[in-house]
Amino acid sequence: MTTVDTSQTQESKPTNCISCNKPLKKLKRYYRDGKYYCTKKCWLKMKKGQQTKEA
């Protein structure tokens, strides 16, 4: 278990990639479908992970 420092900002601005949870750089973030990702790759990854869960 790791303690993450989340002092505040829980529902304000997403500053972390919701795919890999890395902190987003102002210049390098990738906005898609109302969410922020660090790269297009992460967006694709998330997209893939959300669908296609049929085994």
Is 17 a binder of Zn ion (CB under 5 A)?
yes
* 24 contributes a contact to Zn ion by CB under 5 A: no
Say which residues have a Cβ less than 8 Å from residue 8's Cβ, sequence separation at least 6.
none
Q: Which stretch binds Zn ion (CB under 5 A): 1-9, 11-19, 27-35, 47-55?
A: 11-19
Centroid of chain to Cα 3: 19
Task: Pick the binder of Zn ion from 16, 31, 33, 42 (CB under 5 A).
Answer: 42
Task: Note the residues at the interface with Zn ion (CB under 5 A).
Answer: 17, 19-20, 38, 42
